Amino acid sequence: MNFLINIDIKKPFRSISYRDKIMLTGSCFTEHIGQALKDLKFSVYQNPHGILFDPASVCRSLHDLVQEREYDERDLFMLNETWNSWHHHSRFSNTDASEALLHINKTLKEARAFLAKADWLVITLGSSFSYRLTDLVAGHLGEPVANCHRAPAQWFQKHMLSTQETVHLMEQCCREMLAFNPDLNFIFTVSPVRHIRDGVVENNRSKGRLLEAVHQLNEMFPQSYYFPAYELVIDVLRDYRFYDIDLVHPNYAATDYVLEQFTNNCLEEESRTLSEDVRKIVIARKHRAFQPSTNAHRQFLTAHYEKAKLLQEKYPYLDFSEELDYFAP
């Protein structure tokens, strides 16, 4: 008897290789997958504006990269003793405005250079709800924001983007990305993290619009692919044991399962095999010995040093310098 729904995951039009550069942008689920790929030594750059949830914010972020946007003090505002940007996650906030701008502009420059040579752009949309500033915030009426920074609720007008609005925004964005980097390929996903603060019914409406939008986009762009991260968590891993204590965020077991499905279906065979060897080295690097002076531990270090060295020599485009330093006899 089969206790799980079987999802037929279609293979992408082109498999991902370790030689590829992968940029990821979007929701917090993006960062889980992005960090997992980074741990496996893939060339990854993620969320140059920080975590973003709605399509308008994602498009604004990517537009900033292509247009070589440079932020100045007019783009910042002071709240709760820190300088913030309406278009960035609070990880970019700082008590010193110059330091905040330095971090923002340095990241934009790095991300633009990476995007110019990227092979893949992974876009994970989290919510159809978009927020815009009201007239209570002088000089910013109607401006869309990516992060509210715990500002008073009356500063914002909440709007659920229609499917048509999302398709229009994302289509323009993708065409702009292809004009900037004609070799770019897209992977669309919808985050399985439920935004229950919007309400369960409203969250389902929001996700439904995103799902329809990304499938329409997938039909528009032959260099695009839809990976069913949402369906894998919501329809396959339906039990709450796959969620964190908030019953909303997928836990380690769930994200690891999604990553496993991603690697099994989206990576070329050689890279998939290599990723397993890399994973073993990375796990060994995290090992902490209770008795580091024993012969057994020295043998452990020597054995893994040789394995890491062989992989580094065979695949020079991967960086095992941290592991080689750790295992060095």
Query: Distance between CA 247 and CA 157 in Å, rounded?
Result: 28
Beta carbons of 226 and 185 less than 8 angstroms apart: no
Asked, for residue 3, whether it belongs to a domain, the answer is no
pLDDT tens for 147-190 read 999 999 889 999 999 999 999 999 999 999 999 999 999 999 99
Residue 26 CB coordination number (10 Å): 28
If the chain, 329 residues long, is cut into consecutive pieces of 10 residues, what is the mean pLDDT of each piece?
79 94 92 90 96 96 95 93 95 97 97 98 97 75 86 92 98 98 97 92 97 97 96 92 91 92 94 94 87 87 93 93 90
Asked, for residue 12, whether it belongs to a domain, the answer is no
Structure-token match 């140059």, residue found = 48
Asked, for residue 2, whether it belongs to a domain, the answer is no
Beta carbons of 124 and 58 less than 8 angstroms apart: no
Asked, for residue 219, whether it belongs to a domain, the answer is yes
Query: Distance between CA 327 and CA 164 in Å, rounded?
Result: 54
* Dihedrals phi, psi of 155, to nearest 5 degrees: -75, -10
Looking at the structure of the chain, the number of domains it has is 2
Query: Distance between CA 312 and CA 212 in Å, rounded?
Result: 43
pLDDT tens for 78-125 read 998 999 999 999 999 999 999 999 999 999 999 999 999 999 999 999
Please give the model's pTM, rounded to 2 decimal places.
Answer: 0.92
Q: Please tell me whether residues 180 and 257 are part of one structural domain.
A: yes
Q: Please tell me whether residues 25 and 71 are part of one structural domain.
A: yes
* Dihedrals phi, psi of 181, to nearest 5 degrees: -140, 95
Asked, for residue 5, whether it belongs to a domain, the answer is no
Q: Please tell me whether residues 263 and 132 are part of one structural domain.
A: yes
From residue 71, alpha-carbon distances to 22, 64, 89, 105, 217 in Å are: 25, 10, 14, 6, 30
